[in-house]
Structure 1
Amino acid sequence: LSAAVLSAEQIGKLSPAEQLAYRAQEAQTVQGPYLGLAVVLFLLAIFVYLFRLPTLKESTEQADTGHHTLIDALRHPHVLFGVLGIFFYVGGEVAIGSFLVNYLSMPDIGNMSEQAAANWVAYYWLGAMIGRFIGSALLARLSPRKLLAIFAAINMALVLTTMSTKGAVAMYSVVSIGLFNSIMFPTIFSLGIERMGPLTGKASSLLIMAIVGGALVPYVQGLFADRIGVQHAFFLPLLCYAYIVFYGLYGSRIKSDTPVAATH
């Protein structure tokens, strides 16, 4: 059983004890990547704790004694659109990563065991890390808004490819999405707090809260996957990346030439 990926019909023919053993084996195949991710996050937390960040003052450009609320920050369109951008980006990224094992183990996609598919999940996240270094170099030369839109458009093309093809093409295209996810979070975040002055703290709080998309979007995609299939359910991340194209080209633009820090 450990070397085979069984269909629902085949699992139904097993005895209760064999089904329990098979499910336990399935769980063990994905433990390695997630344990590795937990270790990396733990080490990252220690690094952040030891690295002393400067205190963010209420006003970054001028003294301001006014009281600001989250609603004040949301009145600025580039902040509101940025909150939605973080929501959809994190949701799309996590949704794809969450469905990779099931998707790659499908007979007409990767036709591999869940243990082998779990290794490809690591490649997906590794691509995001490699792309971060490449993206940093590109951001030094190109407009962050344009680069964000370009990367999101490339991911739309990759999602469409993995939805409309089979075998190796579908497999490599979905894993490659991680490479172009790389710059999205920091770029959306930076554009969302641009020129917010005394409202920077409130805008930052809203953007951080928007990562709840990582819990909600995968859940909704799961509902669609149960009804239309795992492959077709990738239309949801496709819509997420379409929104990020909009944000890069239009939604992130600041509507006034007056610095936000000078207004209340």
Structure 2
Amino acid sequence: MSKDKSLAAVALITSLFFMWGLALNLNPILIPHLKKACQLSDFQSSLIDSASYIAYFILPIPAAQFMKKYSYKGGIILGLLLFSVGAILFYPAAAVRNYAFFLGSLFIVFSGMAFLETAANPLITLVGEPKGATVRINLAQTFNGLAATLAPLIGGRFILSGKLLGPAEEKAMSPQQLDAYLTHEASSVQIPYLVIGLLVFSVAVMVWRTHFPKVKEETDEALDNKMPLSARIGELLKDKHLMSGVLAEFFYVGAQACVSSFFIRYSYHVAGIGEKDAAELLSIAFLLFMIGRLSGTGLMLIFNPVRLLVTYAIINIALIITAINIEGHAAIYVLMAVWFFMSIMFPTIFSLSIRDLGKKTKLGSSLVIMGIVGGAVLPPIMGKISDLTNIQFSYIVPCICFAAILWFGIKNLRVKKLDVVNAH
């Protein structure tokens, strides 16, 4: 393949990292927005995360099997088409203001993203010169971080109205006025998601028309031929170290989803900050996450990554406890710092989990990635606690998650050296 065609393929694959970073990090905007537009409880609004993350749990293995038969390119095209259709379906979902319709549309979007992540992470390292693989994956991850930073700004600007009705204001409205207000609120997602859907579809067309190199990955043929997939998975499920890693990743992704998804509601509750201003603060928090990832990578050259994981977990527990117990703008700034110290957790836990798996590493990695389902399970628990108490106290959920991560880190302190995988 010519150099120009190789660059075109790399550019398109890199754009995928930006796309799923944008879609995933619009959830913290959608949660308060649809809570308002569809008159939801905190528990009900948290199902946005459940509809999103459950796709990551269900689809990676089917996606891998699909791509084994139809190639990475086929998987990417299918993923982009699902992403596009799901985003476009936001238009009729908003027109009828049906929450179940929104959740179904989100599940389709994230089903597409599960295909994209399953394909793009390995493919970006395999397309182009082998010596540039590390540079390419790091560049792609940077675009993912950029999307995470921009998503709250875009969502705050084009989706959030900045208008919250108090109980007295809502009661003063006639049924017709309230319905008009809610319909107008719901409609604000139509154009942004329609634009996203059409852009993603255009990328699918470009991928279809772009030549991708044929990639043949190394596989362990002996294992493939002699042991069925179910038996290999069963063997890995007995690996206590791997399973503790899956559980740690479950708690990490759950913590990240909880902290992010309720941030706008938390900001209003503890400091009276409007949703548009809170969205801007959330963007800064994601920027801190990027800075933390970059600085953390440098610190790991000096300090033991496991000790860094333990230290960051302790700091986040202290930050969350503080955020639960104070009010005002100081509480917001304390909570924002959590993003910085979350930054190294996913790749460090991932690397610790698959350490010493040898030929079983690839399948073991898939199981660790399935721990992402924590993002589907834990936000509803947090939402229910919020409904029963308040949004501030509900942050006890991510606090418990960081305690679980601390325990995982302590159990692995004997590990002196670790090659941290740049993932997620």
What range describes the TM-score normalised by the shorter chain of this pair? Answer: 0.7 to 0.9
Change in 2 beyond 3 A, CA 1:56/1:31: farther
Please tell me whether residue 88 in structure 1 is matched to residue 247 in structure 2: no
> Partner of 1:172 in structure 2?
333
May I ask how many residue pairs the two structures share in their alignment? 243
CA distance in 2, matches of 1:85, 1:133: 22
> Partner of 2:298 in structure 1?
137
Residue deviations 1:203-238 (CA, integer Å, cap 9, x gap): 111111110111111111111110011111110100
CA distance in 2, matches of 1:245, 1:34: 38
CA distance in 1, matches of 2:192, 2:317: 26
Equivalent AA in structure 2 for residue 18 of structure 1:
Q
Map of 1:60-139 to 2, 5 A cutoff?
67=227, 69-106=232-269, 109-139=270-300
Higher relative contact order (CA 8 A, sep 6+): 1
Change in 2 beyond 3 A, CA 1:241/1:3: closer
Equivalent AA in structure 2 for residue 101 of structure 1:
I
| Cα pair 1:92 1:236 within 8 Å, conserved | yes
Please tell me whether residue 12 in structure 1 is matched to residue 187 in structure 2: no
- Greater CA drift, 127-136 or 112-121: 112-121
Change in 2 beyond 3 A, CA 1:3/1:206: closer
In proportion to residue count, which structure has more helix? Answer: 2
Aligned-pair Cα RMSD in Å = 3.4
> Partner of 1:58 in structure 2?
220
Unaligned runs of 5+ in 1: 255-264
Map of 1:186-225 to 2, 5 A cutoff?
186-225=347-386
Unaligned runs of 5+ in 2: 1-160, 416-424
Please tell me whether residue 163 in structure 1 is matched to residue 324 in structure 2: yes
Residue deviations 1:70-94 (CA, integer Å, cap 9, x gap): 2222322221110001100000101
Residue deviations 1:132-171 (CA, integer Å, cap 9, x gap): 1011001122112111111111111111111000001111
Equivalent AA in structure 2 for residue 77 of structure 1:
K
Equivalent AA in structure 2 for residue 230 of structure 1:
I
CA distance in 1, matches of 2:413, 2:360: 16
Change in 2 beyond 3 A, CA 1:29/1:93: farther
| Cα pair 1:77 1:251 within 8 Å, conserved | no
Equivalent AA in structure 1 for residue 262 of structure 2:
F
Q: After TM superposition, give the deviation of residue 126 of structure 1 in Å.
A: 1.9
| Cα pair 1:90 1:213 within 8 Å, conserved | yes
